[in-house]
């Protein structure tokens, strides 16, 4: 009987001191004062991906919306993030149509944009995000861009062969 009473006493949690309770209350007040639209994902990235989605013709993609949303928290299909920044969008071979739109340049941290084997039309925007390292968009309609890339690669290869043959001679 005594042992059980002792155990009950030891389990009871001491109430937090007044100061910490006041701090929690203050925090709750601050949180409730914040705008409801506050999202974790970087605002400019949300703007950019909303624009991309609209340009693609708002196809059925889990999570994706044309206005707002929180891609890095809501697990939008094919979206990869580093903390609150969108770093990758991978949506290949899922019959996407539409175009790329004019908000690609608004992505702040995107590294990979993989949209190959879809039916995306239009042209590659002139201003691509500076962070972009890998852009995969092979599809018949964007062939012009692709062949330009191939031509440049061949030219670089040719130049490096010339340079190396000069070095050896």
Ligand X SMILES: *[C@@H]1O[C@H](CO)[C@@H](O)[C@H](O)[C@H]1NC(C)=O
Please, what is the minimum distance in Å from the beta carbon of residue 163 to ligand X? Answer: 36
CA torsion angle for 74, 70, 108, 135 (degrees, to 10)?
40
Nearer to ligand X, 27 or 82 (CB): 82
Question: Beta strand 112-114 with 134-136: parallel, antiparallel or unpaired?
Answer: parallel
Please, what is the minimum distance in Å from the beta carbon of residue 49 to ligand X? Answer: 12
Residue 164 CA, chain-centre distance (Å), reads 41
Binding mask 74-113 for ligand X (x = CB under 6 A): --------xx-x-------------------xx-xx----
7 Cβ contact partners less than 8 Å away, ≥ 6 residues apart:
none
Rounded distance between C-alpha atoms, residue 131 and residue 109, angstroms? 6
39 belongs to the binding site for ligand X (CB under 6 A): no
118 belongs to the binding site for ligand X (CB under 6 A): no
Nearer to ligand X, 106 or 139 (CB): 106
50 belongs to the binding site for ligand X (CB under 6 A): no
| Site size for ligand X (CB under 6 A) | 9
DSSP 89-122: EE--SS---S---S-GGG-SS--EEE--SS---S
41 belongs to the binding site for ligand X (CB under 6 A): no
The binding site for ligand X (CB under 6 A) comprises 44, 47, 82-83, 85, 105-106, 108-109
């Amino acid at each position: 009987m005594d042992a059980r009473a002792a155990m009950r006493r030891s389990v009871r949690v001491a109430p937090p001191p007044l100061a910490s309770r006041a701090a929690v209350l203050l925090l709750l007040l601050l949180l409730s004062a914040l705008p409801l639209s506050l999202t974790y994902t970087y605002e400019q990235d949300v703007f950019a991906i909303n624009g991309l989605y609209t340009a693609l013709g708002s196809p059925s993609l889990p999570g994706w919306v044309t206005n707002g949303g929180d891609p890095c928290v809501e697990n939008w299909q094919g979206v990869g993030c580093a903390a609150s920044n969108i770093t990758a969008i991978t949506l290949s071979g899922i019959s996407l149509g539409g175009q790329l739109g004019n908000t690609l340049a608004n992505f702040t941290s995107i590294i990979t944009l993989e949209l190959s084997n879809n039916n995306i039309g239009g042209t590659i925007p002139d201003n691509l995000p500076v962070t972009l390292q890998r852009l995969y968009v092979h599809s018949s309609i964007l062939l012009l861009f692709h062949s330009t890339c191939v031509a440049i690669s061949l030219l670089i290869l040719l130049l490096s062969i010339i340079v190396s043959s000069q070095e050896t001679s």
